[in-house]
Structure 1
Amino acid sequence: MTQDISTRALDAMARARETTLVTGEPLGTEDLIAILHTPDEHLAELSQLAHEVRLKHAGDLVEVEGIISLKTGGCGEDCSFCSQSGLFKESPVRSVTLDPAELVEAAKHSAKNGATEFCIVAAVRGPDDRLLDQVAVAIEAIRREVDINISASLGLLDASQAQRLRDMGVRRYNHNLETARSHFPQIVSTHAWDERLRTLELVREQGMEVCSGGIIGMGESLEQRVEFAQQLAALEPAEVPINFLDPRPGTPLANYPVPTRGEALRAIAMFRLAMPTTILRFAGGRELSLGDDGTEAGLLGGMNAIIAGNYLTTLGRPAERDLDMLDKLQLPLKVL
């Protein structure tokens, strides 16, 4: 059985070299599942293949993004992984809202650290008029002082809200599908996967770039990871942020295991072979799953973007370390 699994993985890698690497066409479902079963002794070979696909079809530039939480905590949704839900009484995160000056300083810091993208995030089901007014003030203040692209992540949108964000100058909108459609009901019950999908469709209709990804390690099967990657690929997003579960105290997933290094590297390679031309961005959990040198391993294994510095409610690596690492790897930064 082990030999059969290994053979299927090696055959899938061979087909990826013959097709995906040459033409940029994604691997099919069965081959992507086989990739997730790649034995440890072939993991370096798999990462090298994914890196070659990334270089040929997505280029060598690394895009750096900074993020800031305009409104943290107090969300009325029950996303099982999220410490910002107000429904999880044991979660330590409580509601905090920043003022525009704090967002301007964060944007300046991000730009100083090489970021071309700055994302304003709020822990809400969707924005009300008051929140959109706050975002508008913040964007205007940032634009006066910082040369940086602005994106937003404010939950579910209706058509008028999407249009208003576009008119504010939001370039890219993030709304993660989080996991495969078939697994989503086990993770969230207060809204549906299709509601998230509709928001992304509205974003595209308004001419904003679509950003959508999710979290690896929430109890999904390997087949569901492939399902998720292909559902994202069907959206043709500009960017896919890939997180690895960082189990948060007080949430329903608090006792879930952290994805292993091998599991994470296989997932990165699978996503790259499913989406050869897409920006795949390292997001939360990379330090836990991949260890101290994990960012380097991921960027040489299929990823081509990072969030520099801290995340929304968890700590990341110092941005300066990431910049030093990119210099060492001779991977050029994307610039405005």
Structure 2
Amino acid sequence: MPAATADSPIIPIAREQVLERGAGLEEDQILSVLRLPDEHLPELLALAHEVRLRWCGPEVEVEGIVSVKTGGCPEDCHFCSQSGRFPTPVRSAWLDIPGLVKAAAETAATGATEFCIVAAVRGPDERLLSQVRAGITAIRESGNDIQIACSLGMLTPEQVGELVDMGVHRYNHNLETARSHFPNVVTTHSWEERRETLALVKDAGMEVCCGGILGMGETAEQRAEFAAQLAELDPHEVPLNFLIPQPGTPYESYELVEGKDALRIVAAFRLAMPRTMLRFAGGRELTLGDLGAEHGMLGGVNAIIVGNYLTNLGRSAEADLDMLRELRMPIKALSETL
């Protein structure tokens, strides 16, 4: 596929390749998008929005998340305040079953169709799986009509099978960043180990949710590499997070991604994956600031996490739902997710 040149700008190429034919941009083309000057940003966002509408439709999927096991993680992910290796304010804690049921009910009340149970672990042990199993059973028995997803770290084939038997339909396991940059972010496990879990999940028939965090010292080339690697994985959903520097972590002094760069990233990832659910996740409020989340919603995003993000506060669910109403973006109904 053609790369952009001085005589062949990337936006017309993307319009024909992605919008008209539905073929995602390749790595060198993604890099051209990320390098576009600010004056081309409105045109880029408009194109990404057109792509989203054509290949994904107008609906927005709404999700809430809750941590069943917080803090005390043995891994050294440099961005994470839940790592037990860093002097952060977060301490280890477990959420009980009534707390899980309450969180699921509050999520369902917003109109969300997705509820993700998250744990800060390398991978689940039997205690954690028992807690998740009991939680899912209690949520179902309480009458909460919502899809259940999980994010419990790296899995064995047997654990994947257990989650399938529990009725978990989607599994989140982020690659976090480009393969070439990953050793700068995590040293206690590898990018390849994460990729192996994703392969197991996909082979088992669960939906794959896989994204990462932007703003961890990666270059523009590595952002393009990451988008291309996600496109190759072909996940059902890609959550886009922007680094929130956490006190006590190695990244506590990192600067936020500049708002216009964040919007370029959103558009580039949409043009790399025209049919994928692209979800606004952590850091959007801080990163976009006065630009507002609506610019991303009109620049390729078609899913959103409402409420808080584990150890970080987000906007209120009502504020995000009001934004969707103002933008006249319908919320995806539960029946459409089944």
TM-score range normalised by the length of the shorter chain: over 0.9
4+ residue segments displaced more than 3 Å = 6-10
Q: Which of 317, 321, 330 matches 1:323?
A: 321
Q: Please report how far the alpha carbon of residue 293 of structure 1 lies from its aligned counterpart in structure 2 after TM superposition.
A: 5.0
- 1:47 lines up with 2:42 in the alignment: no
Paired AA for residue 108 in structure 1: A
Aligned partners of 1:9 and 1:34 also within 8 Å? no
Q: TM-score, normalised by structure 1?
A: 0.96
**For residues 70 and 264 of structure 2, what CA distance do their matches in structure 1 show?**
32
- 1:286 lines up with 2:284 in the alignment: yes
1:86 paired residue number: 84
Q: Give the paired residue count.
A: 330
Within a 5 Å distance, the mapping from 1:129-168 to structure 2 comes to 129-145=126-142, 146-168=144-166
Aligned partners of 1:151 and 1:173 also within 8 Å? yes
Unpaired runs of at least 5, structure 1 = 1-5
Relative to structure 2, which stretch is displaced further, 159-168 or 21-30? 21-30
Aligned partners of 2:123 and 2:153 also within 8 Å? yes
Question: In 2 relative to 1, CA 152–8 (structure 1 residues): closer, same or farther, beyond 3 Å?
Answer: farther
1:194 paired residue number: 192
1:115 paired residue number: 112
Deviation digits for residues 135-191 of structure 1 (CA, Å, limit 9, x no counterpart): 000000111220000000000000000000010000000000000000000000000
Paired AA for residue 116 in structure 1: T
Q: Which of 98, 123, 126 matches 1:126?
A: 123
**For residues 7 and 331 of structure 2, what CA distance do their matches in structure 1 show?**
33
Aligned partners of 1:242 and 1:282 also within 8 Å? yes
- 1:182 lines up with 2:180 in the alignment: yes
Paired AA for residue 274 in structure 1: A
Deviation digits for residues 249-283 of structure 1 (CA, Å, limit 9, x no counterpart): 00001101100111100000000000000000000
**For residues 63 and 9 of structure 1, what CA distance do their matches in structure 2 show?**
39
Q: What's the C-alpha RMSD, in Å, of the aligned pairs?
A: 1.2
Q: Which of 248, 263, 278 matches 2:246?
A: 248
Match of 2:9, SS? helix
Aligned partners of 2:27 and 2:227 also within 8 Å? no
Match of 2:117, SS? strand
Unpaired runs of at least 5, structure 2 = none
2:13 paired residue number: 15
**For residues 315 and 160 of structure 2, what CA distance do their matches in structure 1 show?**
33
1:3 paired residue number: none
Within a 5 Å distance, the mapping from 1:290-329 to structure 2 comes to 290-292=288-290, 294-329=292-327
**For residues 27 and 191 of structure 2, what CA distance do their matches in structure 1 show?**
21
Q: Which of 211, 215, 218 matches 1:217?
A: 215
Q: Quick one: percent identity of the two aligned structures?
A: 62
Q: Please report how far the alpha carbon of residue 210 of structure 1 lies from its aligned counterpart in structure 2 after TM superposition.
A: 0.5
Q: Please report how far the alpha carbon of residue 294 of structure 1 lies from its aligned counterpart in structure 2 after TM superposition.
A: 2.3
2:203 paired residue number: 205
**For residues 128 and 250 of structure 2, what CA distance do their matches in structure 1 show?**
28
Deviation digits for residues 111-141 of structure 1 (CA, Å, limit 9, x no counterpart): 1111100000000000001110000000001
- 1:97 lines up with 2:94 in the alignment: yes
Deviation digits for residues 85-112 of structure 1 (CA, Å, limit 9, x no counterpart): 0000x21100010001101111111111
Within a 5 Å distance, the mapping from 1:255-274 to structure 2 comes to 255-274=253-272
Match of 1:176, SS? coil
Aligned partners of 1:203 and 1:209 also within 8 Å? yes
Q: Please report how far the alpha carbon of residue 56 of structure 1 lies from its aligned counterpart in structure 2 after TM superposition.
A: 0.3
**For residues 225 and 291 of structure 2, what CA distance do their matches in structure 1 show?**
29
Paired AA for residue 134 in structure 1: Q
Question: In 2 relative to 1, CA 25–95 (structure 1 residues): closer, same or farther, beyond 3 Å?
Answer: same
Paired AA for residue 146 in structure 2: I
Paired AA for residue 202 in structure 1: L
Paired AA for residue 114 in structure 1: G
Match of 1:271, SS? helix
**For residues 9 and 35 of structure 1, what CA distance do their matches in structure 2 show?**
15
Aligned partners of 2:26 and 2:228 also within 8 Å? no
Match of 1:291, SS? helix
Q: TM-score, normalised by structure 2?
A: 0.96
**For residues 126 and 100 of structure 1, what CA distance do their matches in structure 2 show?**
20
Match of 2:123, SS? coil
2:31 paired residue number: 33
Q: Please report how far the alpha carbon of residue 42 of structure 1 lies from its aligned counterpart in structure 2 after TM superposition.
A: 1.3
Aligned partners of 2:18 and 2:24 also within 8 Å? yes
Match of 2:208, SS? strand
**For residues 265 and 278 of structure 1, what CA distance do their matches in structure 2 show?**
17
Aligned partners of 2:259 and 2:291 also within 8 Å? no
Paired AA for residue 101 in structure 1: P
